Amino acid sequence: MGEFLPAIPQRFIEHGAIFLAGSLVEGFGNKTSDLDVMIVSELALDGIDHVVRKDHMLINMIFGKARRIDLEYLHTGTISSPVAEIAALDIPVDFVAERIDERQELLIHRLLNAVPLFDTPAYRALLAAAQACDFRRYMVKRCMHKIDGAALDLEGMVDRGDPAEVLLRLFDIIDHSVDAIRFAHGFTNPLGKWRIRSLRSMPPSPEAENALSIYLRYRVLGLGLEEPDMEEVLTLVRQVLYWSDCALRRVYA
């Protein structure tokens, strides 16, 4: 902490929630991964040195001995508002696919998987609210709603007769199905770059093995189709939809 703690103004340490987050904390990081230090506070985000503005936060980048350290400052409401929105949902009934965006989902996920630097009242209150909002169930249900939308699109695209268009939408169904499986097992990071690592980190099971096999075969290693033929594409559609339906029945049972 000696590399970055002196750079955090004392008022944020006393009146905020400060925690380590990101891929390194989750065990997914690489030697080039930066360390994310999140500073969440009700205080005004001013008087912070050397910042870069990114969406909802101000970032002070520090280049440490081993890796870059990002001090990410954001207002408490940036996390508490989407947490409250999820908590207010009737997840079995409400349409949840477009309630909050991926950036907000990532913030909640990071909070739930954080390593706190200080056990402050602000941190405990923020974490308790996130733990109570049924985030994992929300993430699974929003995948299912996105799959429903993609499957409906597929029907019209098949009628239109463009196999390449059908394949692209089929890829979305694979992505959302894999996400639903890993989310159901607690790997709620919404970033697609961690799909393979998440699946490989799951306890061994036919479900995890099948999801990884489908994802590698259709999304990573390629289909081996230089010019997609509609009959070949329709065979893939039937295979993927059958796998997705069986997998999600088990996930949401």
SS3 68: strand
CATH number of the domain where residue 11 is located: 3.30.460.10
If asked whether residues 118 and 2 sit together in one domain, one would say yes
Q: What is the DSSP letter of 217?
A: I
pTM score, two decimals? 0.89
Q: Are residues 60 and 108 in the same domain?
A: yes
Domain boundary among 98, 133, 168: 133
Q: How many domains does the chain have?
A: 2
The answer to whether residues 145 and 211 belong to one domain is: yes
Same domain, residue pair 94 and 160: no
DSSP 218: I
Q: Dump pLDDT digits (tens) for 201-230.
A: 999 988 899 999 999 988 877 665 566 778
List pLDDT tens digits, range 168-180. 999 999 999 999 9
User: What are residue 172's DSSP bridge partners?
Assistant: none
Q: How far is CA 183 from the centre of its chain?
A: 9
pLDDT score recorded for residue 251: 78
Q: How many helices (H) and strands (E) does the chain have?
A: 10, 6
Q: Are residues 58 and 149 in the same domain?
A: no
Q: 116 with 30, same domain? A: yes
**Please, are residues 140 and 96 in contact by the beta-carbon 8 Å criterion?**
no
Considering 106, 133, 160, which residue would you say is the last residue of a domain? 133
- Distance, CA of 43 to CA of 10 (rounded, Å): 12
pLDDT beneath 50, residues of the chain: none
Q: At what angle do helices 230-251 and 163-184 cross, to 10 degrees?
A: 20
Last residue of a domain, one of 101, 133, 165: 133
Residues 190 and 90 in one domain: no
Alpha-carbon torsion 192, 194, 197, 201, what sign? negative
Please check whether residues 123 and 153 belong to one and the same domain.
Answer: no
| pLDDT at residue 221, rounded to an integer | 72
- Alpha-carbon gap, residue 227 to 85, rounded angstroms: 45
Q: Do 200 and 159 share a structural domain?
A: yes
Range of the domain at 158: 137-251
Q: Residue 37's pLDDT is what?
A: 96
How high is the pLDDT of residue 1?
A: 61
Q: Do 94 and 47 have their domain in common?
A: yes
Judge if 108 and 150 occupy the same domain.
no
| 243 and 159, same domain (yes or no) | yes
Q: What is the pLDDT of residues 128-159, one digit of tens each?
A: 999 999 999 999 999 999 999 999 999 899 99
CA dihedral 229, 234, 237, 239 (to 10 degrees): -110
Per-residue model confidence (pLDDT) at position 29: 81
